[in-house]
């Protein structure tokens, strides 16, 4: 499942998750129900996942902006060449880890929006 959010929507979701986590942690410390602790952990995990995706998007936007500002070739502020492993893929600059394969020649694909595994958390 893939959900696209505006920056304002993402911030609203992050604030709601943080508030929910705090409420569940407080309830757990008061009542001691394990389900409250699990719900707090689930909210924290989801918050971390959304923040991670936002950070990846921010980094990718910065990479695209640099390649747009310097279409003739990438260099750092001192005029140095790009580090080994950086290359041009599909017209965009990609980080080393994105366009190389691990030893053995296989590559795993990870969907940052895949929330599978979180469906049953806190339902005990």
Residue 42: Cβ within 10 Å count:
19
Question: Rounded to an integer, what distance in angstroms lies between the CA atom of residue 2 and that of residue 5?
Answer: 10
- Is residue 71 included in any domain, yes or no? yes
37 part of a folded domain: yes
Q: How many domains does the chain have?
A: 1
Tens place of pLDDT per residue across the chain (124 aa): 788 888 899 899 999 999 999 999 999 999 889 999 999 999 999 999 999 988 988 888 888 877 665 555 555 555 555 555 555 554 444 444 444 454 555 555 666 677 776 666 655 5
What's the domain range around 69? 7-98
Q: Using CA atoms, how far apart are residues 12 and 119, in angstroms rounded to an integer?
A: 21
Residue 24 placed within a domain: yes
Q: In the structure encoding, which two tokens stand for residue 2, read together?
A: 């893939």
Would 106 be classed as within a structural domain? no
User: How would DSSP label each residue in 5-42?
Assistant: --HHHHHHHHHHHHHHHHHHHHHHHHH--HHHHHHHHH
């Amino acid at each position: 499942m893939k959900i696209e959010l505006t920056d304002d929507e993402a911030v609203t979701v992050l604030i709601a998750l943080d508030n929910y986590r705090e409420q569940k942690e407080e309830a757990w410390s008061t009542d001691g129900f394990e389900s409250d602790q699990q719900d707090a952990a689930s909210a924290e995990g989801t918050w971390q996942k959304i923040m991670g995706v936002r950070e990846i998007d921010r980094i990718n936007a910065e990479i695209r902006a640099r390649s747009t500002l310097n279409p003739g070739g990438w260099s750092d502020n001192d005029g140095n060449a790009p580090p080994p492993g950086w290359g041009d893929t599909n017209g965009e600059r990609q980080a080393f880890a994105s366009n190389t394969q691990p030893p053995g020649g296989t590559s795993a694909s990870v969907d940052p929006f895949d929330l599978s595994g979180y469906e049953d958390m806190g339902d005990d």
